[in-house]
């Protein structure tokens, strides 16, 4: 199958879920948002505490259906806060293998299977 520029080529339906993405590169947020919206979801973003306050992170996690973060581009403090808050609120979290768009796309495609298990 040839890959097109259409981000819905290998689309899955997120069924309106809210995805919180923490960390990564701020310049990619628009691309991440487009990928999520093309799959019937909403993306909210927290930079991991550089400009967005780390205290705000817990409130954002409580409102999200799933939290995702790139393991190669997030502070240890943000990582620890995510894990604690997700466990407290029973919110699933998904470590993404890198901050690249391809890794994010793969993690999105795996979400429905994770939700079913």
CATH of the domain at 77: 3.40.50.10140
* 3 in any annotated domain: no
Q: What is the pLDDT of residues 38-63, one digit of tens each?
A: 999 999 999 987 777 788 898 999 99
* 1 in any annotated domain: no
Q: What is the mean pLDDT of residues 108-113?
A: 78
Of 45-49, 76-80, 111-115, the least confident: 111-115
Of 28-37, 41-50, 95-104, the least confident: 41-50
- Number of CB atoms found within 10 A of residue 8's CB: 11
Q: Tell me the residue range of the domain where 80 lies.
A: 18-112
In this predicted structure, the answer to whether residue 1 has a pLDDT above a threshold of 60 is no
* 82 in any annotated domain: yes
Domain count, the chain: 1
Q: Are 19 and 43 in contact (CB under 8 A)?
A: yes
* 7 in any annotated domain: no
pTM of the model: 0.84
> What percentage of the chain's residues is helix, strand, coil (to nearest 5)?
45, 15, 40
Between strands 66-70 and 93-96, the pairing is parallel
In this predicted structure, the answer to whether residue 6 has a pLDDT above a threshold of 80 is no
Q: pLDDT category, 18, cuts 50, 70, 90?
A: very high
């Amino acid at each position: 199958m040839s890959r097109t520029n259409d981000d819905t080529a290998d689309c899955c339906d997120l069924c309106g879920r809210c995805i919180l993405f923490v960390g990564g590169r701020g310049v990619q947020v628009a691309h991440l948002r487009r990928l999520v919206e093309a799959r019937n979801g909403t993306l909210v973003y927290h930079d991991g505490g550089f400009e967005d306050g780390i205290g705000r992170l817990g409130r954002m996690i409580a409102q999200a259906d799933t939290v995702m973060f790139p393991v190669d581009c997030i502070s240890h403090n943000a990582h620890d806060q995510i894990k604690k808050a997700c466990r407290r609120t029973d919110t699933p979290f998904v470590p993404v293998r890198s901050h690249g768009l391809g890794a994010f796309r793969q993690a999105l495609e795996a979400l429905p299977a994770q939700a079913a298990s």
